[in-house]
Amino acid sequence: MLHSIILGAVQGLCEFLPVSSSGHLALFQIFMGFNENMLTFDILLHFATLLAVVLYFWRDILQILREWFGGWFGKRRSGWSYGWTIIIASMITAVIGLALKSTAERFSESLILVGAGEIFTGLILVMIPILSSSRRNSSLLSIAMFVGFAQGIAVLPGVSRSGMSIAMALFMGLGISEAFRFSFLISIPAVLGATLLECVKFLKSGQPVFMPEGYIWGAAVAFVLGLLALIFMRRLVNAKNWALFGVYCLIVGALAVFLS
């Protein structure tokens, strides 16, 4: 139970920081000696932090849904195009994520590969101050395609979903605040889709699902700490802070590779 709570805390604190929660989960699971496939528990923890995202952005979500559905029958407002941007980005993420799913499962069991993912994330984050100075005038379609691709790559453990998607959004010309908002809004269909996919797979296979003792407590801790981390992180959004997270990822990745 203590291990489940620790992993829940790791997920809650790391999901909204650009340090790769999946990478940290994999590192902690390796050091704790988990030999079972923990993918189902990882998805449960991600779903818990997804609920935190929905709670935090509920006003934005309702506005986008209202204006997107309203665009089919009346005047098309900003939510119409924004909704399509999220849909297209999510579809591209799904294609990339499904293609890399089996690879990600193998990578999560390797200390050196998880460390390499953290190093890659660190290098991307260190470049964010440069990317944030970009003044590109990209179309919504190109933003959706490139950010969706970046989010799909982040299925690999050690590669930060928020870090990759925010860095790509900045590269495409979005401001840091809007890149932050867009990154977490497109995480909702991605995590929800992964959760539903795993549920369908296990129902069809008929195989028992491994969950560590106290997994519900782990999910509860992930939700609470995730919401607090999201509130805290929103106040720290600027390019310089992301670069500091990049240095942290470089250190963690280098240590993981060294220990391997």
What tens digit of pLDDT does each residue of 197-238 get? 777 776 776 666 667 677 788 889 989 998 988 888 777 766
CA distances from 18 to 74, 166, 215, 224, 248 (A): 39, 9, 24, 18, 10
- At residue 239, the pLDDT reads 59
User: pLDDT grade, residue 38 (50/70/90)?
Assistant: low
The pair of three-digit structure tokens given for residue 42, joined into one six-digit string = 């990882």
* Cα angle 223-236-126, degrees, rounded to a multiple of 5: 105
Distance separating the N- and C-terminal Cα atoms of the chain: 27
Whole-angstrom Cα distance, residue 115 to residue 27?
Answer: 9
Among candidate residues 229, 192, 179, 190, the one with its CA nearest the CA of residue 100: 190
- At residue 202, the pLDDT reads 67
- At residue 65, the pLDDT reads 93
Please check whether residue 28 is in contact with residue 10, taking contact to mean a CB–CB distance below 8 angstroms.
yes
